[in-house]
Chains A and B, each alone.
Chain A
Amino acid sequence: MLKLYGEDIASRLMIGTALYPSPAVMQAAVRASGAGILTVSVRRETAGGATGDSFWALIRELGLKILPNTAGCRTVREAVTTAQLARELFGTPWIKLEVVGDDDTLQPDVVALVEAADILIRDGFQVFPYCTEDLTVATRLVDAGCQVVMPWAAPIGSAKGIVNPGPLTLLRNRFPDIALVVDAGLGAPSHAAHAMELGYDAVLLNTAVAKAGDPVAMARAFGQAVAAGRTAWEAGLMPPRDFASPSTPVPGTPFWHAANS
């Protein structure tokens, strides 16, 4: 079973709560996905409003583990304060740490990320850092005390799938005891299966389900793909090779002569 910071999680799919056509569809999609963890954010509340209360009521009905994020933060200070606000709101030491480094790609500012992770871990947080597939950055995050590392597949919301599988495989090989989660850039269930076939412990996605024609059906498809990919990894995939190898036995082929082989 997936274990994150000592907690057993029944599902290897983590799903976001944003961009759905309606709150009801969000709830139905989350249930159909079979996800074990939900991501949420912290945003400014308007005076006289209770937007947060109504959203939180929907989330609590789902009864899943909550992973708050620091989405949109651009500096170490913003990310640290947002994480602390999230801890106050949600009562969890878990934080999906995001520090945006570029507006067009939303790629993480990995230098600020490592610094913020270090500060938060010293403050008692259990950090889920959203990072690139860079080995050195992942090493710094693990050195800081991260027990989970979440590299992107591709930019957030891009639906490109895993564009750089080599470095992701290297991370898996280097960090056999760290929970690795592919976070961001997945567009199709096959992309999620691909991540799991690389030996990743889980995937985190949002847009691919929320923006699907039928988010509930797509959520179910992603849940099935994650399960299939995990089973495939556990079963042991054959290594690829450059030339063909017949699957049907060659000896006994009609008209076959040993001298021809």
Chain B
Amino acid sequence: MTDNMTGAPVLGLTVNGERQQVAAASVRTLLDALGYDGEFIAVAVNQAVVSRGRWGEDLLRDGDDIEIVSPRQGG
């Protein structure tokens, strides 16, 4: 199945612990689709960090587990 507007495949992804259906093949399109507009975020797919330089690559697969994180208070 693909998204009518973008042509991206609709994938079943777990994003920050929540199952979602998202039309996104790359990290960049995923962040845009979900409305992430923060500058300081980092992303891991299946517990492997995807560096910012690879966010444009079509590397997402159905069933992927994605973490999107940012800086926060800590001790």
Residues of chain A whose beta carbon lies under 8 Å from any beta carbon of chain B = 16-20, 26, 39-53, 55-56, 59, 68-69, 71, 77-78, 81, 84-90, 156, 206-207
| Selected contact of B69 from candidates A45, A48, A53, CB within 8 Å | A45
Give, as a whole number of angstroms, the nearest-CB distance from B21 to chain A.
Answer: 14
Could you give 14 example pairs across A and B, Cβ below 8 Å? A18-B73, A39-B74, A41-B72, A41-B74, A42-B42, A42-B72, A43-B69, A44-B67, A45-B68, A49-B38, A52-B41, A52-B70, A81-B47, A81-B48
| Selected contact of A84 from candidates B35, B49, B68, B72, CB within 8 Å | B49
Contact in complex: A55, B71 (CB < 8 Å)? yes
Give, as a whole number of angstroms, the nearest-CB distance from B29 to chain A.
Answer: 14
Q: How far is the CA of A87 from the CA of B69 in the complex (A)?
A: 12
> How many of chain B's residues have a CB under 8 angstroms from any CB in A?
27
| Selected contact of A85 from candidates B15, B37, B44, CB within 8 Å | B44
Contact in complex: A40, B69 (CB < 8 Å)? no
Contact in complex: A42, B49 (CB < 8 Å)? no
Closest B residue to A96 using CB positions: B74
Contact in complex: B75, A69 (CB < 8 Å)? yes
Contact in complex: B74, A88 (CB < 8 Å)? no
Contact in complex: B70, A53 (CB < 8 Å)? yes
> B59 on the interface (CB 8 Å rule)?
no
| Selected contact of A55 from candidates B41, B52, B68, B73, CB within 8 Å | B73
Given A48-B35, A89-B40, A71 contacting B74 (CB threshold 8 A):
yes
| Selected contact of A19 from candidates B38, B41, B42, B75, CB within 8 Å | B75
Contact in complex: B75, A52 (CB < 8 Å)? no
Closest B residue to A26 using CB positions: B73
Closest B residue to A59 using CB positions: B71
Contact in complex: A71, B75 (CB < 8 Å)? yes
- For A39, A47, A68, the residue with the greatest tally of chain B CB atoms inside 10 Å of its CB is A47
Q: How far is the CA of A252 from the CA of B9 in the complex (A)?
A: 98
Give, as a whole number of angstroms, the nearest-CB distance from A76 to chain B.
Answer: 11
Q: How far is the CA of A230 from the CA of B49 in the complex (A)?
A: 40
Closest B residue to A210 using CB positions: B75
Q: How far is the CA of A39 from the CA of B74 in the complex (A)?
A: 6
Q: 1/0 per position for B16-48, CB-CB distance to A under 8 A? A: 110000000000000000111111111010011
Give, as a whole number of angstroms, the nearest-CB distance from B26 to chain A.
Answer: 17
Give, as a whole number of angstroms, the nearest-CB distance from A166 to chain B.
Answer: 26
Q: How far is the CA of A49 from the CA of B75 in the complex (A)?
A: 23
Give, as a whole number of angstroms, the nearest-CB distance from B35 to chain A.
Answer: 4
Q: How far is the CA of A42 from the CA of B69 in the complex (A)?
A: 6
